[in-house]
Amino acid sequence: MKRMILFSVLALAAAGPAQAMPWTVDAAKSVLGFQGSQGGSPFTGHFGKWTADIDFDPAHPESGHALVVIDMASARTGDPQKDQSLPQSDWFDVKGFPQATFQATSFRAKGGKAFEAVGSLAIRGIKKDVVLPFQFDEAGGTAHVTGRLPLIRTDYGVGQGDWKDGSLVALDVAVTLDIQAAH
């Protein structure tokens, strides 16, 4: 009996730490978006070009990581005036900062299907620590992930000049995600 217990302990130790599972995002079924408000009227938009490298195991979230790279010039709201303004130097300044990145260094379980991605977000060359809350549903090797990260846009230098004080465009914004992925 002692040998059986010793063998079991050694086998578990040799297995090493849990590894996260790689996920492949289905871009056609996924949306990386944003929300804001101008003149008291809410608006939404999305990024048409982005990539995601995600390793996540809901049974062992602490071993996961992710890197999302966003093409800031691909931001669209459906409003021609906003779409022309967003790439300009007052907003995303895509000439100086063509990409934004979100990097999760770990994940935390919050109970049920709720998790948090712990990491950093960099926009316009300004990098800040963030915690992204999200819901993770998995069935048959396919995952559906939804989340919303509230931000203050001026913390990242988004909205310069006349746009900086929040009187025309609210300071509170959010990055949203609705992602389909498989492993």
- Assigned superfamily of 19-182: Lipid/polyisoprenoid-binding, YceI-like (2.40.128.110)
Q: What is the pLDDT of residues 111-162, one digit of tens each?
A: 999 999 999 999 999 999 999 999 999 999 999 999 999 999 999 999 999 9
* Selection from 157, 35, 34 nearest residue 96 by Cα: 157
Q: Is the pTM of this model over 0.85?
A: yes
Question: What is residue 19's predicted lDDT score, i.e. its pLDDT?
Answer: 66
Task: Identify whether the C-beta of residue 163 lies closer than 8 Å to the C-beta of residue 90.
Answer: yes
Instruction: Quote the CA–CA distance of 122 and 110 in Å, as a whole number.
Output: 25
- Going through 64-113 in order, the beta strands assigned E by DSSP cover 65-71, 75-76, 99-111
Which residues, in sequence order, are CB contacts of 2 under 8 Å at separation 6+? Answer: none
Dihedral in degrees, nearest 10, Cα atoms 90, 94, 98, 102? 30
Q: What is the pLDDT of residues 68-96, one digit of tens each?
A: 999 999 999 999 999 999 999 999 999 99
Q: How far is CA 15 from the centre of its chain?
A: 31
Q: What is the pLDDT of residues 101-125, one digit of tens each?
A: 999 999 999 999 999 999 999 999 9
Where on the phi/psi map is residue 4: left (φ > 0), alpha (ψ -120 to 50), or beta?
Answer: alpha
